[in-house]
């Protein structure tokens, strides 16, 4: 849990919150928002209390299924379209259906999701549906060459789609080098280059990688890769990409320092140069988001744990207006209006 919820009265924080939960009948997190068929569709995690003890591997995040939310506009009602996919229907997966994303092509809709196999290793799967809300039918196997967590799919103006993925600690990214897993691997030392997320272009059928995943490099103001010890800026999890003003904006969570940050580049592959924070810490340990344009305005979807009284694995998704200034920089948002 972040210092914000440990050191302040939750009631006072809630009273200052700039937005309210989109739904309250279930707990939701990690919102991936898209405009499909003129409406907003949000693909969140579905948080439950699985009764699993807390640990640094995130075992207490025991999610089992996905619900899709539909909104006519960012300030409209969020309608729960029901269960779109359950872990019991995924042959290769056993548990922990973490943060998903979605994409569309040629009239089909694709739900991308991480889950643990029976051996405890995360991979990323894809399920296909005829409607944005599903239901989705999973492919029989995980995407070949995929690993870790937090898939985010960006489709560029030329129609090519790219998946960004990866997360440290419980997300297992630190176990990989050059796409090969080794249990002996750990995070780099503080003075070494930080581990970056991965990116791979998708095949035309949206079901597999068209290439081997490559690392996304995030640079500092001097053009040097961020260091592993730079916890205020280095990548931890929660990749997202949007395009604005001809530039590519890669945004992400710093994990244990509870910030959403962004970096800017000239290619979907990067490198990206760090720019600053998007969102200051929320109540709860995790922070995870998406950025979407609707009707010419930009919006940040995010989550916090106020509704559950600060329980870090019982979160609620929210939405706030996001601004790019005259220079294209994102104006930092304080979720509690301080």
The Cβ-side half-sphere exposure at 36, using a 13 Å CA radius, reads 23
DSSP lists the bridge partners of residue 250 as 241, 263
Residue from 101, 133, 150, 237 carrying the catalytic annotation: 237
User: What is the CB neighbour count within 10 angstroms for residue 314?
Assistant: 20
Supply the DSSP string of 288-319, one letter for each residue.
--EEEEETTEEEEEEEESTTTTS-TTS-EEEE
CA distance 285 to 283: 7
Active-site position among 3, 30, 293, 325: 30
d(CA 252, CA 241): 9
What phi, psi does 7 have (nearest 5°)? -105, -5
Residues 6+ apart with CB under 8 A from 178: none
Mark whether 30 is an active-site residue: yes
Inter-residue contact 149 to 114 (CB < 8 Å) = yes
Residues 325, 331 contacting (CB under 8 angstroms): yes
Q: Catalytic site residues?
A: 30, 237
């Amino acid at each position: 849990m972040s210092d914000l919820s440990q050191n302040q009265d939750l009631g006072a924080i809630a009273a200052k919150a700039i937005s309210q939960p989109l739904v309250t009948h279930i707990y939701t997190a990690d919102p991936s928002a898209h405009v499909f068929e003129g409406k907003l569709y949000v693909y969140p995690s579905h948080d439950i209390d699985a009764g699993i003890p807390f640990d640094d591997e995130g075992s207490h995040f025991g999610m089992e299924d996905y619900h899709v939310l539909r909104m006519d506009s960012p300030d409209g009602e969020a309608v729960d379209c029901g269960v779109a996919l359950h872990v019991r229907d995924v042959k290769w997966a056993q548990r922990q259906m973490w943060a998903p994303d979605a994409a569309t092509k040629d009239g089909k809709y694709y739900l991308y999701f991480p889950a643990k196999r029976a051996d405890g290793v995360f991979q990323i799967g894809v399920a296909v549906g005829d409607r944005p809300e599903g239901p989705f039918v999973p492919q029989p196997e995980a995407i070949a060459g995929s690993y870790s967590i937090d898939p985010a799919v960006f489709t560029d103006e030329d129609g090519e789609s790219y998946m960004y993925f990866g997360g440290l600690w419980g997300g297992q990214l630190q176990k990989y080098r050059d796409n090969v897993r080794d249990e002996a691997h750990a995070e780099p030392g503080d003075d070494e280059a930080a581990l970056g997320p991965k990116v791979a272009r998708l095949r035309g059928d949206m079901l597999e990688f068209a290439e081997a995943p490559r690392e996304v490099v995030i640079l500092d103001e001097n053009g040097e890769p961020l260091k592993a010890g730079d916890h205020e800026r280095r990548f931890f999890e929660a990749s997202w990409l949007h395009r604005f003003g001809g530039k590519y904006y890669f945004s992400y969570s710093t994990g244990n320092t509870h910030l959403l940050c962004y970096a800017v580049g000239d290619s979907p592959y990067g490198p990206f140069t760090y720019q600053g924070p998007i969102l200051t810490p929320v109540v709860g340990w995790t922070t995870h988001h998406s950025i979407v344009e609707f009707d010419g305005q930009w919006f940040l979807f995010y989550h916090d744990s106020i509704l559950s009284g600060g329980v870090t694995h019982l979160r609620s998704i929210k939405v706030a207006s996001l601004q790019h200034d005259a220079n294209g920089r994102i104006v930092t948002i304080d979720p509690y209006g301080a």
